[in-house]
Every structure is written in structure tokens, then in C-alpha cells.
Amino acid sequence: MKNPITCTSLLLLAASVTGGCAWAPEATTPEPISDHAVVAAYAQLAQRQYNAALADAKALSVAVDALVAAPAATTLESAKQAWLVSRESYGVTEAHRFYGGPIDGVDSVTGVEGPEGLLNSWPLNEAHIDYVKGHPDAGLISNTAFDISPAAIAAGNQVSDEADVTTGYHAVEFLLWGQDFSLNGPGERSADDYATAPHAQRRGAYLKAVTAKLVDDLAYVAGQWAPGAGNYRERFEARPSVQVITDLLSAQATLAGFELASERIAVALDSGDPEDEHSCFADNTHRDFIRNVAGVHAVWHGQSGPGLRLRWAVDDARAQAVDAALTRAAALAHDVERLGPVDTILASPEGSQGRVALGALSDTLVEVAESMVVLGAASGLEVVIGGE
């Protein structure tokens, strides 16, 4: 890299995604950015983002405790707001998936599998947890033979069916909002469900236990990114930097081109079923998209340190293609937010503004992924769009 890096020339998404210039070295710095510096900055980014997600999850736990102790419309609303905040900080961390890291890989030392499946599994069969319309006694909450605890809830996650999700953000979401039967708003669970309704005490115990499990799982991942702890981060930074950068590019391409573009958008558009949106109970899927794109942006452009982008010259046409696709994806994600919520979009007719914007977002995320593959190939890096 021969040219000095500036906020204007590199951080094209900063205004729309992060609100400003995330980071730029001083223009007078002559030395190129090393791969090792990029890897080290990425580790700091992961640590900071998981710590933020953990802090917000702890705040959610406090709000949940207050709801269960004193069920009321006000305490329920406070718990909902805490959940929404917690999703904001967790959303950007999805950019740390898909390369065998501590969130979704198997620890080579302990054999422990990362907790992503416990944190963010979806779709969720509501009747596996609690009552649903027409089935007042469905779920583990009404099953008094089921001993409610964080460990028991986690042990029952997706045992017989992938949709039988018992834990994580979406389980908490369902327990706060309830089923969503409206195209004009989220679910409308009553605070009475935690006060006088059947199984209210067990429902409160389940909500507290599943939130405690969420905090524990995030604490594990955050701990794996702590510096100087003989943990995953230490092994991560000791690997050959070029291998790490290849993995990180592949992870961003997979999140954009497979997980978001295909699994979360194209499948839902094809079915037209509002139930196929990601955060369906709270109608928060539009924010999931925005924060996921922001996560890719943070890894690519960097925050408080050099991102992957700084490995390539400012005028590298292939890197500029990634810049442009990410810029468009961020703008389209905000268009979806403006035209949403997503369940309304999914139920709208072909050719509606919302469907066009959502389809364009999917296509552009594929462009992000494919441009990363092309960039990698030109640089001797085998970037792969993976998927389950």
C-alpha cells in the first residue's frame, strides 16, 4: 500500500452505519499496514464488541428480574426495550462467525463447542416453550415435570427438531412479546402472563433462567477474546496472519452472501410468510439487517484500528468494488427499515417497494460476498462463501 489512508477515501460507510469516521492512520505515516497489525486490531474489535453485547445482556437480565418481581405494563416495556438494545450490540458480532472462532467453533484445547446455537437459533417453535393460540397448555412452561434451570433449558435445545429452540435471544423475545398476529406491529403479550395467568410463576422462572443462560454464554465468548488469558485470542494472534485474513474475508463473505442474502432474506421472500422473518415477535428484523451489515463494515474498514481494507491500496479496483457494494448494502438496509416492518414487506404483493428493496438488499449482499472472493483470488487468498 503506497498511498496514505484518509477517512474520506476509505470509510465510505461511516456516515450511514457508524455515524462518523471509524479510524484512519495519520496521513504522514509512511509505513504500510502489516497483516499482523490488521489481525491484532480485529482481535481488539471482537473483544470490544462482545464486551458490549455482554454488558447489554446483563442490563437485560436486570430488567427481566424487575419484570418478574413486579409484573406490570411498565416493567414489561422496560424489559422489551432492554432486549432491543441488547440486539443492537449483538448484531454486529455476527461478523465474527463462520471461521471456527469461539462463538461457533470447537475449542481445540477443551473440546467445548461455541454457544452460537444457544444464543441465536432460529426459527423458533413457540409451542415448544409456552402456550400458543389454540393450545393453552403447550410447552415446557406448562409441563410441571420439567425442572426449570439454565442447564435444563440448554440441554433441551433443538433435541428432536431444529425448530424446538429453548434458549437464546429469540426465546427471550417470544417470552416478552408473545406471538405476532399483526402486520402492523409486534406481538402483544400481557404483563398478566407474569402475574395472574396460568403458569405465571413458571413463566417468570423460565424467562429469568433463559436470560441468565444468555449472559453466561456471552461471558464465555467475551472471555475467549480477553487479552493475555491463554485463551482463543492468544492462539488466534499466533497463527500466520495471512491465514487469519483469509478466514476473516471468508467469514464476511459467508455472512453476507449466504446467511443474510439467502437464509434470512431470499427464503423469506420466496415463501412470503411473515413467520419467516428473523426477529418476528418484536418486528425487529430490519434492525438485525442494519447491524449485521454494520458488523461486516467494522471488520472490513476497522474501528479504532486497521480493518481488512487497509491491506489493499486505496486505488485497488477490486477493493473499491467491496467498498461500493457495502455502501449500497447499508443504504438498502435503511430503505428496508423505512419501508418495513419486514413482516409487512413479506406479505405485500410482488413489485411492492418493500419487496423490491428487500430483494435488492439480498442481491447486493451477494455482490459484497462475490467481490470479496474476487479480491481474495487476485491476492492469492482462497476466500470461500460457506454455508450450512
Judge if pTM exceeds 0.75.
yes
10-residue averages of pLDDT along the chain (388 residues): 34 39 42 87 98 98 98 98 98 98 91 95 96 97 98 95 96 98 94 98 98 98 93 96 98 98 97 91 97 98 94 96 98 97 96 98 98 97 88
**Cα 213 to Cα 61: distance, rounded to the nearest angstrom:** 10
> Residue 210 to residues 129, 136, 282: CA-CA distances in angstroms?
11, 21, 17
The reported pLDDT for the residue numbered 22 is: 42
H helical segments located in 147-224:
150-155, 169-177, 200-224
For residue 329, which amino acid is it? A
Q: What end-to-end distance do the CA atoms of the chain give, in Å?
A: 36
Q: Of 1.10.150.20, 2.60.40.4070, 1.10.150.120, 1.20.1420.20, which CATH number belongs to 57-229?
A: 1.20.1420.20
> Would you list the domain boundaries of the chain?
1-32+240-388, 57-229
Q: At a CB cut-off of 8 Å and minimum separation 6, what does 306 contact?
A: 23, 25, 33, 37, 38, 41
- CA distance linking residue 214 with residue 167, whole number of Å: 8
CATH fold label, 1-32+240-388:
Four Helix Bundle (Hemerythrin (Met), subunit A) (1.20.120)
Q: Residue 203: its pLDDT value, please? A: 98
Using alpha carbons, select from 6, 9, 7 the residue that is nearest to residue 315.
Answer: 9
Same fold, 1-32+240-388 and 57-229: no
pLDDT score, position 109: 81
pLDDT (0 to 100) of residue 166 = 97
